[in-house]
């Protein structure tokens, strides 16, 4: 196997450059070398068959989207729509979804990397075999400047497949027919493997039949053999004795979501906070009150107990007359406070085409404009909100990380809130039980 041109040994000498301006480069948008066209559906995603992903799951839910390749971000998904059983047409969810940075600072302060922008993450796309895409299809992606396959730019690197996730619901209807209603959920998975030096990243997009979208990055591959020199408190001994101490480090992963609920990017953002108060009197229990704050200007937000956000449609409602929305559901995170752009968990910014990456953003947005997401937040009114999610993982190595390293995952979800009037997987026998259906008994 050819060693990546950006070896860790060479990268270590570039400290300071890794957090400086990018070297000039052109982002490519090439597509598959071999197309596998199929008949276009009535309401297809807005792209040719070669760039289209469409999957109808066993429950009747259909997901549609387009894809394209970028040299830095890798695979970008666009025009994402969701059509559950019972909806006459697709419901647009996102204009685009992409990785926006993988920031990797080491605890010893001697190494720090921005793997998307500095090392052209997309160019490290790996070939996959059928065993890595069980039951699915591997699409060929043209990667003109591939880091690992000189002269062979046609990479079999984009897997689309389906996978069971376990119970979607279970309900014993003891008050009526005594039946147990249960269903096993199905997901559409879209994923790639990108190699950046010793690490290999699995970028996974999971589209559930209930309308939830989960974004995960899994880090695997190998611990860097160049980073075994940290002192106590910044490392962990790997191997026999304590001679080899693997440097601890962080993986701060950013995603960028451009919503387009019901086809309009003019959405609203709302923040909800719940507060639990002590019992008011004898015999009473604690009370909880939830308040809504409309987020009308750009915001750098922080995860707190009983706090959540949603992006709300201004263009459509469900059959109950409620505005459609998607709730942000952060996964476990270790927030890294070492850089200004990693100090917050979520950023809501006004759409600007030039704002593409959470750090080392290029091209810039003009004189005086910031190059990281924290600088994008400058008080603008939100009319076309963009969501940037930051999920961190502090990797303290262990003996089990050799060899190869098991995958460690980090990510988040967006969950439908009032997108449909009922559970989109509701069985026909329960379809009439909407609202307070038992109020007359």
Report the C-alpha gap between 28 and 180 in whole angstroms.
Answer: 52
pLDDT tens digits, 246-286: 999 999 999 999 999 999 999 999 999 999 999 988 889 99
pLDDT tens digits, 75-100: 999 999 999 999 999 999 999 999 99
Sequence-separated (6 or more) residues with CB below 8 Å from residue 308: 271, 272, 327, 328, 329
Sequence-separated (6 or more) residues with CB below 8 Å from residue 388: 100, 254, 255, 256, 257, 346, 347, 348, 349, 358, 373
Instruction: Rounding to the nearest 10 degrees, give the CA dihedral for residues 2, 126, 106, 342.
Output: 150
**What's residue 440's pLDDT?**
59
Three-state SS string over 391-408 comes to EEEEECCCHHHCCCEEEE
**What's residue 439's pLDDT?**
66
**What's residue 16's pLDDT?**
41
Sequence-separated (6 or more) residues with CB below 8 Å from residue 104: 111, 112, 113, 114, 115, 199, 249, 250, 251, 252
**What's residue 145's pLDDT?**
95
**What's residue 330's pLDDT?**
98
The structure tokens 């490290």 sit at: 124
The Cα-based distances of 258 to 99, 346, 417 in angstroms read 12, 14, 17
**What's residue 11's pLDDT?**
41
Per-residue pLDDT of the chain (441 residues; tens, 9 = 90+): 223 434 443 343 333 434 343 333 333 344 433 333 333 333 446 799 989 999 999 999 999 999 999 999 999 999 999 999 999 999 999 999 999 999 999 999 999 999 999 999 999 999 999 999 999 999 999 999 999 999 899 999 999 999 999 999 999 988 788 899 999 999 999 999 999 999 999 999 999 999 999 999 999 999 988 888 777 889 999 988 888 899 999 999 999 999 999 999 999 999 999 999 999 888 899 999 999 999 999 999 999 999 999 999 999 999 999 999 999 999 999 999 999 999 999 999 999 999 999 999 987 788 888 899 999 999 999 999 999 999 999 999 999 999 999 999 999 999 999 999 999 999 999 999 999 877 654
Residue of 383, 229, 384, 366 whose CA lies nearest to 375: 366
The rounded Cα 166 to chain-centroid distance in angstroms is: 21
Instruction: Work out the angle at residue 332's Cα, subtended by the Cα atoms of residues 331 and 333, and round it to the nearest 5 degrees.
Output: 110
Torsion-angle region of 165 (φ positive above 0: left; ψ -120 to 50: alpha; else: beta):
alpha
Report the C-alpha gap between 93 and 137 in whole angstroms.
Answer: 24
The Cα-based distances of 237 to 66, 208, 244, 245, 304 in angstroms read 45, 40, 6, 4, 34
pLDDT tens digits, 368-415: 888 999 999 999 999 999 999 999 999 999 999 999 999 999 999 999
Neighbours of 231 (CB within 10 A): 10
Neighbours of 74 (CB within 10 A): 25
Report the C-alpha gap between 338 and 65 in whole angstroms.
Answer: 36
Residue of 263, 256, 340, 271 whose CA lies nearest to 307: 271
**What's residue 17's pLDDT?**
39
10 Å CB burial of residue 36 (0-12, 13-18, 19+) is: exposed
The strand pair at 268-277 and 405-417 is best described as unpaired
Sequence-separated (6 or more) residues with CB below 8 Å from residue 306: 273, 274, 275, 276
**What's residue 297's pLDDT?**
98
């Amino acid at each position: 196997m050819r060693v990546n041109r950006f070896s860790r040994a060479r990268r270590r000498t570039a400290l300071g450059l890794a957090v400086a301006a990018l070297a000039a480069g052109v982002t490519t948008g090439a597509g598959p070398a071999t197309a596998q066209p199929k008949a276009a559906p009535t309401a297809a995603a807005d792209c040719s068959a070669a760039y289209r992903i469409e999957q109808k799951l066993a429950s009747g839910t259909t997901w549609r989207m387009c894809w394209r390749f970028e040299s830095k971000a890798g695979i970008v998904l666009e025009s994402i729509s969701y059509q559950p059983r019972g909806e006459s047409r697709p419901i647009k969810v996102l204009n685009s979804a992409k990785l926006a940075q993988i920031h990797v600072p080491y605890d010893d302060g001697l190494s720090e990397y921005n793997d998307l922008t500095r090392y052209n993450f997309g160019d490290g796309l790996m070939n996959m075999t059928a065993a890595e895409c069980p039951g699915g299809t591997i699409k060929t992606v043209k990667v003109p400047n591939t880091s690992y396959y000189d002269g062979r730019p046609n990479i079999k690197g984009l897997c689309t497949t389906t996978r069971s996730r376990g119970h979607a619901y279970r309900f014993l209807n003891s008050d009526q027919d005594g039946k147990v209603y249960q269903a096993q959920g199905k997901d559409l998975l879209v994923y790639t493997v990108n190699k950046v030096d010793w690490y290999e990243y699995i970028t996974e997009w999971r589209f559930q039949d209930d309308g939830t979208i989960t974004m995960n990055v899994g880090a695997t591959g190998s611990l860097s053999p160049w980073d075994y020199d940290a002192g106590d408190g910044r490392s962990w001994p790997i191997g026999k004795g304590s001679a080899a101490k693997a440097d601890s480090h962080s993986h701060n992963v950013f995603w960028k979501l451009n919503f387009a609920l019901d086809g309009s990017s003019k959405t609203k953002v709302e923040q909800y906070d719940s507060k639990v108060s002590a019992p008011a009197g004898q015999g009473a229990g604690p009370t909880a009150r939830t308040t809504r704050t409309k987020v009308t200007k750009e915001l750098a937000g922080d995860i707190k107990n009983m706090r959540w956000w949603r992006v709300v449609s201004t263009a459509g409602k469900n059959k109950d007359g409620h505005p459609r929305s998607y709730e942000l559901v952060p996964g476990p995170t270790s927030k890294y406070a070492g850089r200004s752009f990693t100090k917050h968990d979520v950023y809501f910014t006004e759409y600007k085409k030039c704002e593409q990456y959470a750090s080392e953003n290029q091209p810039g947005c003009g004189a005086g404009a910031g190059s990281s997401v924290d600088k994008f937040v400058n008080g603008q009114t939100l009319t076309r909100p963009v969501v940037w999610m930051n999920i961190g993982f502090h990797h303290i190595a262990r003996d089990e990380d050799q060899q190869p390293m098991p995958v460690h995952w980090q990510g988040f979800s967006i969950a439908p809130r009032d997108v449909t009037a009922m559970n989109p997987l509701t069985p026909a026998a329960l379809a009439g039980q909407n609202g307070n259906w038992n109020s007359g008994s």
